[in-house]
Structure 1
Amino acid sequence: MQRLPASLLFTICVLVWSTTWYAITFQLGGSTPEFGVALRFMLAGACVLAWRAARGETLRFGRRAHLWFALQGVFLYGVSYICVYHAERYLPSGVVAVGYSASPLAGGIGAAWFFGTPLTRRFILGGVLGLAGVALIFWPEFGKTHVGGQTALGVVFTAGSVFLSTIGSLLASRNGERGLTMWPSLGFGMLYGGAAVLLIALVSGQSLVWPSAASWWVALLYLALAGSVLSFACYLTLLERLGAGPAGTIGVMTPILALAVSTLFEGYRPDALAGVGVLLAVAGNVLILRKSAPVRAAARAAE
């Protein structure tokens, strides 16, 4: 990764992460969303740890470190993704992706609350614009659903995923400040997050049916290997080279392309109101990222 130009690393992150939202839709049939989340992150976590072990990185940590790895993973790669998968049962994948435009604001508020990080006027203005943009994008969806409140459920799940992933991002920030390096935190966190989701599925009495559709398994491999391992490797390399601000622009571009993917493959048809919402969401995140957000939203633009 170190030899690849920054432009290529950026392109890989945007292209892969913007398409993972649509790839998730292939895992919404044939089995429960929880089973897809569990297998995705257990596979991704195992690959990350095997890769780092092959590079000679130590993977021995005490019980306390593993407790923090688990807390990070349960929120950032576990319960938050349960909400993402369920949200996409009711909303186009690109709309859910745009919902994550609220993540920088949520992360900044959380950092101010827990770590005392000051919030600048630019950050607050950017957050307000971003939220207004997300609201405009979601609003037309309410007019398309008349039975069962499906859109409302999708919005609730999207909001829940942003909230839960923000807690995970704060825990990841805490782990980094305490000397727990990124790759072991990522690998163990994904393993623990996936295992927690599997446990939730078993306790709730869900049947763990092995899907028969080839598309389900292709999506699983894409989400685990490309969406979780490859993209994080590119993103973290960019983070080291350029810093959080420039690398964070990935989070601006990803929802836009995710909406384009939904338009092409899911029949999503944004109206003028949604178009204005996209512009506001982008402008808000640009304002936030001009001075790096206090907490890096570890790509939860993934999925």
Structure 2
Amino acid sequence: MNNSLLYLITVLIWGSTWIAINYQLGDVAHEASLSYRFGLAALILFAYCKLKNQSLRFNAKQHLQLILFGMTLFSCNYYLLYNAQQYINSALTCIAFSLILFVNIINARLWYQTKITIRAYLGGAIGILGIVTLFWPEVHQTTFDHQAILGLALCFIATLFASTGNMLSMRNQKQGLALLPTTFWGMFYGALFMALMNIVQGKPFIFSMTFSYISSLIYLAVFGSVVAFTCYLTLLNNIGAHKASYSTIMFPAVAVIISTFVENFQWSGFTFFGLLLIFIGNIIVLTPTKILQRFNPRFYQTSNTAKVV
């Protein structure tokens, strides 16, 4: 697949997973649901790797890296985000997690000395402003007490975990480790860690036998985990973390559009303007430099001191 198709698939799937996640919330503990989700996803990847004769063997040092990969990207970040929503609404959670774009920019610089263009910062800032505008009615009504601060702190820590997982995925690929086998082990370790968390906290492993819970679990495991993560992690290596992570800013736009048909969401001026800013930011960040050079060739002349990324 080309990068545009990978990006589109990632945005559409993860923009729709909020519906499935809603059906996961209830009697089943978050830790148990996450272990079921990534455990099932790992099982699917295991079967696929075996079918395609892809080796799942790694040395001890590599497994240590894969454990960290799994804990940061397939367990701790989700666990913290789920818990954050006990203290803040989903709008604030979405805004806080969208900051992963800038965290990824910083981490890409620290980990891999990636030089970022001004337009990446500009497009990201416009995109985040678009999310704030999109959810402004909810944000405006929020009381920023100690509970809200705690919820935002949990979101920020979750963002740090997720960004670290992004960097580890890039390291896996830079070291020549195959994407699907490493993703299998990451999801396996993530599921195992969540299962241990559930046991340590003394929570029962309840499984809801309702159609809504099972169908949403399958959707999250197959599409939200196996398909979307494979596309996203491929993008990380192909176009860089700063560009791939703009997809997290596009998720709310897709969610709002879906909600319009599923939940009869009523649009306002904030909705239109917020979506406009999100799409403008997306264009600024992702439009290839070759195309932008046609409009302003002097500005995009290659510098001798900085590499355009």
TMscore range, shorter length: 0.7 to 0.9
Identify which of 34, 40, 44 aligns with 1:43: 40
Secondary structure of 1:260's match? helix
Q: How does 1:90-129 map to 2 (within 5 A)?
A: 90-92=88-90, 96=93, 100-129=97-126
| Alignment match of 1:184 (pick from 173, 181, 194) | 181
Question: Cα distance, 1:168 vs. partner?
Answer: 0.7
From 272, 278, 281, the equivalent of 2:278 is 281
Alpha-carbon contact 2:131-2:274 (below 8 Å) kept: yes
Uncovered stretches (5+) of structure 1, i.e. residues with no partner: 295-303
| Residue 25 of structure 2 is aligned to residue 25 of structure 1 | no
Partners of 2:72 and 2:109 in 1: CA distance: 19
1:258 Cα offset (Å): 1.3
Confirm or deny that 1:52 pairs with 2:49: yes
| 1:268–1:147 distance in 2 versus 1, CA, 3 Å | farther
Query: What is the CA deviation profile of residues 70-128 of structure 1, one whole-angstrom value per residue up to 9, with x for unaligned ones?
Result: 10111011111113334556534x77556554333221111112322223211222232
Q: Counterpart amino acid of 2:239?
A: A
Q: Give distance in 1, aligned partners of 2:134 and 2:74.
A: 26
Structure-2 residue corresponding to 1:244: 239
Q: d(CA) in 1 for partners of 2:146 and 2:261?
A: 25
The answer as to 2:78 corresponding to 1:71 is no
* Structure 2: runs of 5 or more not aligned: 290-306
- Is 1:104–1:288's contact at 8 Å kept on the other side of the alignment? no
1:55-74 C-alpha deviation (Å, 9 max, x unpaired): 01111111111111110111
Contact 2:38 2:74 in 1 (8 A): yes
Single out whichever of 208-217 and 179-188 deviates more from structure 2: 208-217
The percentage of counterpart residues that share the same residue type is: 32
Paired with 2:81 and 2:151, the residues of 1 have a C-alpha distance of 9
Partners of 2:19 and 2:257 lie apart in 1 by 11
AA matched with 1:83: L
Structure possessing the higher radius of gyration over alpha carbons: 2
Q: How many residues align?
A: 287
Cα deviation, residue 129, structure 1: 2.0
Task: Look up the SS of the partner of 2:99 in the other structure.
Answer: helix
Shift of the 113–30 alpha-carbon distance from structure 1 to 2, 3 Å rule, reads same
The residue identity in structure 2 corresponding to 1:91 is N
Counterpart Cα distance in 1 of 2:231 and 2:172: 21
Per the normalisation by structure 1, the TM-score is 0.78
Give the conservation status (yes or no) of the 8 Å contact 2:250–2:278: no
Residue number among 183, 205, 208 corresponding to 1:208 in the alignment:
205
Which residue number in structure 2 is paired with residue 298 of structure 1? none
Is 1:199 the equivalent of 2:189?
no
- The CA deviation string for residues 186-231 of structure 1, in whole angstroms up to 9 with x for no partner, is 1100110111112122222323222243211111111001221233
Partner-residue secondary structure (3-state), 1:164: helix
CA contact (8 A) 1:127 1:284 kept: yes
Distance of 1:145 and 1:252 partners within structure 2: 21
Contact 1:10 1:250 in 2 (8 A): yes
Q: TM-score, normalised by structure 2?
A: 0.77
AA partner of residue 190 (structure 2):
G
